[in-house]
């Protein structure tokens, strides 16, 4: 990478890979939890993630690049952590720890989308900035929903 445009394309491929990996891993988390609100939050976010993948494909189109993922070690580690929690945690710790792991994933996504949105603005790509801003808002809302469930139901 030598230019901001290069960094933008690389990071876009990174988050595209991450979203696809989340789609594969999400059903494990949904299956592992018992609380209805948490199950629904995970299910709803999986539907949003599918929408986000399509939105990212639109962002790729703004830079005339074919949508493709580039392996993201960060998301691989966060997913592995969540899967480890699902295997090891029990009782009341399970759902609390799963929420914590899911929020770590959300925070990663929030950081990536915030960066990409600002880079798109700097590069003068307002269409991409708008799309990335919408996805960023979705990720923040998912994180807030998890916090609400944790505070009102799980951490009780």
Does the structure show a pLDDT above 90 at 112?
Answer: yes
29-74 confidence digits (pLDDT tens): 999 999 999 999 999 999 999 999 999 999 999 999 999 999 999 9
What number is the average pLDDT over the span 103-127? 98
Let me know: does 131 contact 87? Beta carbons within 8 Å.
Answer: no
CB-facing half-sphere around the CA of 52: CA atoms within 13 A? 28
Q: How far is CA 146 from CA 70, 99, 107, 131, 142, in A?
A: 28, 6, 12, 23, 6
Closest CA to 58 of 141, 125, 118: 125
Q: What's the pLDDT at 119?
A: 98
* Interatomic CA distance for residues 146 and 82, integer angstroms: 15
Does the structure show a pLDDT above 70 at 156?
Answer: no
* pTM (predicted TM-score): 0.95
Cα 111-153-96 angle, rounded to 5 deg: 55
């Amino acid at each position: 990478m030598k230019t901001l445009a290069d960094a933008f394309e690389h990071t876009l491929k990174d988050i595209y890979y991450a979203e696809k990996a989340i789609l594969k891993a999400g059903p494990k988390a949904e299956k592992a939890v018992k609380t209805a609100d948490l199950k629904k939050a995970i299910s709803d976010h999986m539907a949003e993630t599918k929408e986000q993948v399509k939105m990212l494909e639109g962002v790729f189109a703004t830079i005339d690049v074919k949508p493709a993922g580039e392996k993201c070690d960060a998301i691989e580690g966060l997913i592995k952590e969540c899967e480890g929690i699902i295997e090891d945690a029990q009782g009341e710790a399970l759902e609390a720890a799963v929420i914590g792991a899911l929020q770590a994933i959300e925070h990663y996504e929030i950081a990536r989308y915030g960066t990409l949105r600002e880079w798109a603005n700097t590069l003068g790509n307002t269409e991409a900035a708008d799309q990335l801003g919408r996805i960023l808002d979705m990720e923040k809302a998912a994180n807030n929903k998890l916090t609400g469930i944790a505070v009102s139901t799980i951490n009780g």
